[in-house]
């Protein structure tokens, strides 16, 4: 029986870290707090929160771009650039989105989609290639990443086909309906629900390729590895390109660093295509 789950040990991760060749920031530029909202928006919370930071190379054209969604349970968190992505030859976009309880489902997912739409509409002005746009995120950000890739309705609002994404890298993303959405409904956070807001309810064989990443199944959040393994099985059954990595020895929080190192290796290859 073929092994469908790739496991990266702490030792392998350490070797991978040493293999990274970090470039200097001399040939990169950062622009912060760019509004990604389209004209006509009047909602004060959206105007306050819906901003992104852009980090991109200035010495090349046609580079790939990675849109990064922070974690925080859809209730907390701030945009930031994971250090593993800096100076690697591609652009990084760090996104803020509205948070619960001030905003309610699906506000945060709609914001994430609008940020991706901004990327498609604007990245070429900075030298990027809109055919090389990837999305990634950790925890709640992983949930947003999964949802945008599998449920085409969010990007379709901005006349973008989700299949135009070059790929997705959700880290420890919830594949059932997110526990904060259940909380908003007054339901127990540990009772799984699969409805239209569950990534696993929107599996399709033509979705953009996904690299699913979780921490150690013995250390992760409740059923987080198992949820991703289930989604991976569903995608594989449809013939969709999907890989699942279980980072042995890392829990839900510490998995971010090795996961970003792994994503970086994929992004560097993407930039050479």
Average pLDDT, the chain: 92
Position 158 pLDDT exceeds 60? yes
CA atoms within 13 A on the CB side of 261: 18
Q: What is the mean pLDDT of the segment spanning 63-90? A: 98
Domains of the chain plus CATH, in order, are 5-272 (3.40.50.1820)
pLDDT band at 19 (very low <50, low <70, confident <90, very high): very low
Q: What is the mean pLDDT of the segment spanning 54-60? A: 97
pLDDT band at 241 (very low <50, low <70, confident <90, very high): confident
DSSP, res 218: T
Stronger pLDDT, 191 or 70, i.e. the higher one = 70
**Alpha-helical runs (H) found in 151-195:** 153-156, 179-184
Q: In Å, how far are 64, 85, 120, 213, 223 from 130, measured between CA atoms?
A: 8, 18, 6, 25, 35
Q: Cβ(98)–Cβ(115) under 8 Å?
A: no
pLDDT band at 34 (very low <50, low <70, confident <90, very high): very high
Q: What is the mean pLDDT of the segment spanning 42-47? A: 96
């Amino acid at each position: 029986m073929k092994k469908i789950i790739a496991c990266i040990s702490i030792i392998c991760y350490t070797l991978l870290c040493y293999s990274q060749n970090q470039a200097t920031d001399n040939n990169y530029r950062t622009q912060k707090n760019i509004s990604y909202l389209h004209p006509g928006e009047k909602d004060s919370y959206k105007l306050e929160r819906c901003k992104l930071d852009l980090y991109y190379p200035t010495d090349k054209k046609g580079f790939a771009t990675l849109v990064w969604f922070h974690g925080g349970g859809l209730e907390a968190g701030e945009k930031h650039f994971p250090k593993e992505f800096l100076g690697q030859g591609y652009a990084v976009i760090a996104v803020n989105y509205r948070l619960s309880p001030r905003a309610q489902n699906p506000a945060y997912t709609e914001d994430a989609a609008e940020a991706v739409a901004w990327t498609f509409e604007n990245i070429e002005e900075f030298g990027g290639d809109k055919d090389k746009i990837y999305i990634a995120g950790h925890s709640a950000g992983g949930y947003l990443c999964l949802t945008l890739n599998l449920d085409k309705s969010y990007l379709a609002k901005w006349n973008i086909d989700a299949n135009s994404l070059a790929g997705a890298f959700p880290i420890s993303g919830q594949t059932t309906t997110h526990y904060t959405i259940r909380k908003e409904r007054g339901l127990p956070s540990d009772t799984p629900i699969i409805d239209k807001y569950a990534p696993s309810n929107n599996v399709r064989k033509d979705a953009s390729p996904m690299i699913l990443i979780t921490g150690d199944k013995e250390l992760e959040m409740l059923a987080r590895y198992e949820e991703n393994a289930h989604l991976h099985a569903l995608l594989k059954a449809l013939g969709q390109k999907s890989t699942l990595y279980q980072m042995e020895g890392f829990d839900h929080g510490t998995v971010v660093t090795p996961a970003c190192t792994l994503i970086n290796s994929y992004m560097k290859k993407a930039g050479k295509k």
